[in-house]
Each structure stands twice: as C-alpha cells, then as structure tokens.
C-alpha cells in the first residue's frame, strides 16, 4: 500500500541511518538495533522492526493511546528507509516507494524476562514483587484490557526496577496482528496475560489496590476521543475504511467494559 506519510503528533517521523544490525533476543519479527535521524535533525539509538501493515498499525495506535494516558512507553517513530539502509520488505511504502518501519527509542534496559532468567529461582518472587509494587501497575491492567493486548508476557516489559519501566511490543493488540473487523467484539473477555503470570503472586490487598488504580485510569480512557486518537497515531492511511470504523467502534464501546474486565484480570471481584 502506497500512501503519503501523515503529519501527526504522537508518532514522530524519522529516517533510518546506515549501520543497523539484526539481533535475536526472543523476538519473532525482523528486528534491528541502529540509529535514526529524527524530523528535528537529531540522532537517536532505536530498535527497528520490519512489520506487516496491520501489525505496524497496532504498534502505532497502541503507542499513541499509551502516550495519551501518560503510560511509560519508549518514544515511537514511523521511520523511512532510504538507500537500502535496512532490508525492509513487509511494511507499507511512501509515495516514492520507500519502505516504512517501526522505530522506538532504545532505552538500553533489559526486559523483565531477562531479569528473571538472570536471578536464582529463589529470587524470582522477589523480582515479581518489585513489579507488583509499581504504582502504575493497575493502569497497565486497564490499558491492556482496553486495547485487547493478548501478549503482555514478561518479555514485553522493560524493567529496570519499579521506577524504570517501559511498555513495549504491542503488535498483538486489538486481538492480534492479523485482526479483521469481525474479530473486534468489545464485550469479549480477550486474554490479559498478566492474569496468568503476575496476578497469581498478589495478595488480596495488592489486588484491591491495583483494581482501584485500574478503575481510575478507566475514567481517563472514557474521556479519550477515539477518532482523534486514530488520526493522531497516523494509522489511517494504512487501514481500510471498514477497519478504521471497526477500530473506532471497538475502542469506544470497550470503554464501558474495561473496569469490570480489568478487575477480573486482577481476580478482584466486588
């Protein structure tokens, strides 16, 4: 699909510089570490991903939503590949035929899964309790529930302690990387994977605390203008009109479903 690159606010524009190197650290997609030149003519170390258009849109929209809600997420860029600086083949292209890839600022901090693998088995619970002590954890439950992110495993959290946390890898939001309009049912209990590996380690008081924080974020979610978010994220040129309408309807109607579904993910039922 060939479109003009939109000018929008949440997702910045950049160009991929020469020298990016591929890496494998549990990542499924073609992923690189490299440098980008931003629209402000500054350079930035970034993680670069060559993604199919639907998955790229998932990442861009989830990032815009997280930014609007004040959640910690590395700065996200829609990056143009010039001079074959990256072997990008999957994503959309500009009107000049140049590939577009996802770029996110490299925060140079390991993911939680690497932290868990690095400690002794007896230290794992203590590390998870550090995450449970994060003041914004309830917001993450609400956010993942609202956007139907079905893949928040321990590799999709950058974790340098409870004051150094970033949310990454949102390609499996909106029910998955290959969703269709028919998949987007706002009343469905899509899996919130935090319930599988984190809720089980919480005390009842911790569950209650995070459920209250989740409910508070739901008030912020309910105030978001979804049509504006879609425009602000820059995804509209890369989705069909039917898909745009389906996303808009899904996110609007899911607002009212999110408080109860977040509480359910926390196993906290009043």
Question: The domain spanning residue 186 has which CATH number?
Answer: 1.10.1070
- Once rounded to an integer, what is the mean pLDDT over residues 78-106? 95
Record the tokens describing residue 134, joined without a space.
Answer: 């994060």
Three-state DSSP state, 14 = strand
Boundary (domain end) residue, out of 105, 125, 157: 105
184 within domain boundaries? yes
Q: Give whole-number Cα distances, 57 to 98, 138, 146, in Å.
A: 17, 25, 16
Residue 9 pLDDT > 60: no
Among 24-28, 153-157, 193-197, 244-248, the least confident range: 24-28
Q: Range of 160's domain?
A: 112-265
> What is the per-residue pLDDT for 8?
47
pLDDT tens by residue, 182-199:
999 999 999 999 999 999
Q: Indicate whether 93 pLDDT > 50.
A: yes
Mean pLDDT of 86-98: 94
Domain containing residue 72: CATH number: 3.30.200
Burial of 177 per CB tally in 10 Å (0-12, 13-18, 19+): buried
Q: What is the predicted pLDDT for the residue at 5?
A: 44
pLDDT at 26: 67
User: Are 173 and 252 in the same domain?
Assistant: yes
Residues 97 and 158 in one domain: no
The reply to whether 220 and 134 lie within a common domain is yes
- Whether residue 87 is found in the same domain as residue 209: no
CA dist 36 to 2, 64, 89, 107, 169, Å? Answer: 22, 20, 18, 14, 19
Same domain, 179 and 127: yes
Q: How many domains does one find in the chain?
A: 2
**Claim to verify: residue 246 and residue 201 sit in the same structural domain:** yes
In the prediction, which pLDDT does 30 show?
A: 86
Q: Is the pLDDT score of 136 beyond 80?
A: yes
Kindly indicate the confidence band of residue 10, based on its pLDDT and cuts at 50, 70 and 90. low
pLDDT in the model for residue 162: 81
Nearest residue to 213 (alpha-carbon basis) of 79, 69, 22: 69
Q: What is the mean pLDDT of the chain?
A: 93
Angle at 155 between CA 140 and CA 144, to 5 degrees: 25
Domain identity same for 68 and 201: no
Looking at the structure, tell me whether residues 174 and 260 fall in a common domain.
yes
- In this structure, the answer to whether residues 32 and 97 fall within a common structural domain is yes
In this structure, of 6-10, 130-134, 197-201, the range with the lowest mean pLDDT score is 6-10
Average pLDDT value for residue range 125-145: 97
Residue 7 has pLDDT above 90, yes or no: no
Residue 213 has pLDDT above 70, yes or no: yes
148 close to 190: Cβ distance less than 8 angstroms = yes
Query: Which residues is 37 bridged to in the sheet?
Result: 15, 43
Shared domain for 82 and 138, answered yes or no, is no
The label of the residue with tokens 């590390």 reads 127
Tens digits of residue pLDDT in 21-55: 998 776 677 899 999 999 899 999 999 999 999 99
């Amino acid at each position: 699909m060939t479109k003009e690159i939109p000018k929008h606010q949440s997702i910045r524009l950049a160009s991929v510089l020469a020298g990016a190197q591929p890496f494998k650290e549990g990542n499924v997609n073609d992923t690189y570490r490299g440098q980008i030149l931003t629209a402000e003519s500054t350079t930035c170390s970034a993680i670069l991903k060559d993604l199919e258009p639907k998955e790229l849109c998932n990442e861009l929209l989830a990032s815009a939503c997280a930014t609007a809600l004040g959640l910690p997420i590395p700065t996200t860029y829609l990056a143009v590949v010039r001079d074959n600086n990256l072997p990008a083949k999957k994503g959309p292209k500009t009107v000049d035929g140049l590939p577009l890839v996802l770029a996110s600022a490299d925060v140079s901090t390991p993911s939680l899964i690497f932290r868990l693998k690095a400690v002794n088995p007896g230290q794992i619970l203590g590390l998870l309790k550090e995450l449970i002590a994060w003041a914004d954890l309830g917001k993450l439950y609400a956010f993942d529930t609202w956007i139907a992110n079905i893949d928040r495993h321990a590799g999709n959290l950058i974790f340098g302690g409870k004051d150094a946390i970033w949310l990454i890898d949102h390609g499996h939001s909106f029910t998955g990387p290959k969703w269709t309009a028919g998949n987007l049912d706002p009343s469905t209990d899509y899996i919130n994977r935090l319930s599988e590996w984190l809720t089980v380690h919480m005390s009842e008081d911790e569950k209650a605390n995070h459920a209250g924080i989740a409910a508070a974020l739901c008030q912020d979610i309910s105030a978001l203008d979804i049509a504006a978010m879609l425009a602000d994220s820059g995804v509209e040129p890369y989705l069909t009109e039917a898909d745009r309408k389906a996303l808009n309807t899904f996110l609007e109607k899911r607002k009212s479903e999110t408080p109860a579904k977040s509480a359910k993910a926390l196993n906290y039922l009043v």
